[in-house]
């Protein structure tokens, strides 16, 4: 039986492995982090903008559930699982879906990881490498 397993690539299943390497530990998955954000979206005069769609992104095209700013321009949300090596590629996309309502039409914009100043707020264990958080204030310019 051990010979068949070895031919299939399961040589670590033999009784020799625990003696040589200790008890095997099965860990499946990928190192990951949790990303949370909280912030405020304002117009160029410093007034809050309600109804702005704020979407957490990882590079272009990989997005998570969007949140919308409230009457005070505040929003919070996050991404529950981000591959650890993508941590520096996290960002936020801002989009005015309602046009002239709620204070005018605003141009799309983004904040990138370097702009967000991610801070580790919780340690993780195993594959979970913790929670990173960003507080932000974003000013959107009028759409041209």
The rounded distance, in Å, linking the Cα atoms of 125 and 95 is 35
Give one DSSP letter per residue of 97-108, joined into a string: SSTTTTTS-B--
Does the structure show a pLDDT above 60 at 112? Answer: yes
Mapping DSSP to helix (H, G, I), strand (E, B) and coil, where does residue 24 land?
A: coil
Record the pTM: 0.75
pLDDT at 86: 83
pLDDT tens per residue across span 128-138 = 999 999 999 99
Which sequence spans correspond to the domains of the chain?
Answer: 1-30, 32-139
Does the structure show a pLDDT above 50 at 65? Answer: yes
User: Is the CB of residue 83 less than 8 Å from the CB of residue 32?
Assistant: yes
pLDDT at 83: 85
pLDDT at 40: 98
CB count within 10 Å of CB 26 equals 4
Q: Check the CA dihedral 77-97-140-44 and report its sign.
A: negative
pLDDT at 25: 43
pLDDT at 87: 85
- By the 10 Å C-beta count (0-12 exposed, 13-18 middle, 19+ buried), 110 is classed as middle
pLDDT tens per residue across span 10-58 = 444 444 444 544 544 445 678 989 999 999 999 999 999 999 999 998 8
pLDDT tens per residue across span 75-108 = 999 988 888 888 888 999 999 998 888 778 999 9
User: Is the CB of residue 32 less than 8 Å from the CB of residue 82?
Assistant: yes
pLDDT at 47: 96
Q: How far out from the chain centre does Cα 3 lie?
A: 45
- As assigned by CATH, the class of the 32-139 domain is mainly beta
């Amino acid at each position: 039986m051990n010979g068949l397993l070895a031919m299939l690539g399961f040589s670590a299943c033999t009784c020799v492995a625990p003696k040589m390497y200790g008890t095997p530990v099965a860990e499946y998955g990928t190192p990951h982090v949790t990303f949370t954000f909280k912030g405020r979206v304002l117009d160029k005069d410093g007034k809050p903008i309600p109804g702005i769609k704020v979407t957490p992104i990882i590079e272009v095209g990989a997005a998570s559930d969007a949140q919308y700013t409230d009457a005070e321009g505040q929003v919070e949300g996050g991404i529950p699982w981000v591959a650890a090596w993508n941590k520096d590629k996290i960002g936020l996309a801002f989009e005015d879906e309602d046009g002239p309502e709620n204070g005018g039409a605003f141009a799309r914009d983004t904040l990138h990881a370097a702009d967000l100043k991610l801070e580790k707020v919780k340690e993780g264990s195993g594959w979970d490498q913790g929670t990173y958080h960003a507080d932000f204030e974003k000013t959107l310019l009028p759409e041209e």
